[in-house]
Chains A and B, each alone.
Chain A
Amino acid sequence: MQIDDETLMALADGELEPGRAEAVRRAVAADPELQRRLHRFAETRRLLGTLRTGAAGEDPLAGMIRAAASAAPEPAPQAAPCPPAPAPRAPAANLNRSPWLALAASAALAVLGLGWWEWSGRGGEGLPGAELAALDELPSGEVRVLADGTEISMIASFQLPEGQLCREYETARERMLRIVLACRDAEGWQARFAARSEADGADYRPASGPESIEATLAALDAGEPLTPEDEALALRALAGE
């Protein structure tokens, strides 16, 4: 039986479909020359497998990845003990904050001079139409590129105790980054919180402590992010309004 090298190799690598593998195995069993040729492939595979050594200790990059993945850092303890600190929000079920935002909490972006500043966006701040459309339909965790090149990333949806839907999202265009919390009322979507930043940090102004999106969500008693299923239900309900 004529069997080429690639077939023998595929047998050694478990890449032959079962019927073919069985036939080749029978042929090899009956032929010492085939056994010798197969051995070269099986043995090189085995030897190379020994290079698959485990890591000694944790990789130096692991910390950086965790910082980017941990979406909602615990609120820093306030110096003034007077107002009871909002209860730290538990790890989010469906919070899709993007790496650059999460990284803002770490030293990595401080080097870039990333500065956040407040944007007096409370009540009636007009949101661009394309963002309104995304608010109505874009599921959390998804990104959409708008006609003007702005990239909008939906982060999470929340339901207020009285049933109002709020959504957190980020936009990025060139060097300008924005994070917005919009809530839906009778007149449509209203920005309840917005902050923006320029990556070059020319206009650096430190974010004032309590006026963070976390604090806004806590003040609104927003609770946990909705699960993807609950969010889909809420968005369908909106569409049916």
Chain B
Amino acid sequence: MDAAFGEALIALLPNLRRFALSLSRRADLADDLVQITVERAITHAAGFDRSARLEPWLFRIMRNAWIDQTRRQRTAGAQLDIFEMPEALPVDPAPALEAHLMLQSVEAAMATLPPEQREVLHLVCVEEMSYAETAEVLSIPVGTVMSRLSRARLALAGKLGIE
């Protein structure tokens, strides 16, 4: 890893922290997730195509790390993608922490959405990834990104009272 890659990585730390929080919704888990992502990025820096954008590459590393962690925490031998079965993800109750993190009603509304809608919303609307980049990060077709995103946007609009 050279200094330029290091600085690019540092510049994206706020983006990584946001996405980690969006995925895990817990500050301690998010910190771990960012740390793991940065370590993996440093280790695999040589494998990064310098002509590509760094964000999707990093988000993909982070999401894979999150899936790894979540799988490890689940004892039953579930083979299904947890993002396809949101009801299997326990909703973290810790209301005080949630209230602290969810400073804005938008965040609060977003937090009520299923994880697979939340991550697509976050990548496109918060991190400003293109549909194609988002599809790459999530390993799903662009059409799935669009249908999921559209449902998520309409659900969010409903919760926020946008007519």
Contact = CB atoms under 8 A, between A and B. Distances in A.
A66 interface: yes
Nearest to B13: A59
Nearest to A41: B153
B131 A64 contact: no
A142 to B, nearest CB: 7
Nearest to B31: A60
A52 B126 contact: yes
B69 to A, nearest CB: 18
A90 to B, nearest CB: 13
B1 interface: yes
B72 to A, nearest CB: 22
Interface in A14-55: 15, 36, 39-41, 43-45, 47-55
B79 interface: no
A43 B162 contact: yes
B18 interface: yes
Interface in B1-39: 1-3, 5-7, 9-10, 13-14, 17-18, 34-35, 38
Nearest to A49: B125
Nearest to B132: A15
Contacts of A70: 3, 6
Given A59-B10, A91-B3, A96-B2, A68 B126 contact: no
B14 A54 contact: yes
B82 interface: no
A59 B10 CA distance: 8
Interface residues of A, number: 43
A47 B96 CA distance: 24
Contact of A6 (B38, B42, B150): B150
Which of A15, A48, A153 is packed against the most chain B CB atoms within 10 Å? Answer: A48
A43 to B, nearest CB: 5
A172 to B, nearest CB: 11
Given A59-B13, A71-B2, 19 more contacts: A9-B150, A10-B146, A41-B157, A43-B162, A47-B106, A48-B126, A51-B104, A52-B18, A52-B127, A62-B13, A64-B38, A65-B9, A66-B10, A68-B42, A69-B2, A69-B5, A69-B7, A99-B43, A153-B46
The 8 closest A-B pairs by CB, nearest first: A69-B6, A48-B125, A55-B14, A59-B13, A40-B157, A99-B42, A62-B10, A44-B153
19 contacts: A6-B150, A44-B153, A44-B160, A44-B162, A48-B106, A48-B122, A49-B125, A50-B104, A51-B104, A52-B128, A55-B14, A59-B14, A59-B17, A62-B13, A65-B42, A66-B10, A69-B2, A98-B1, A99-B43
Interface of A: 5-6, 9-10, 13, 15, 36, 39-41, 43-45, 47-55, 58-59, 61-62, 64-66, 68-71, 91, 95-96, 98-99, 102, 141-143, 153
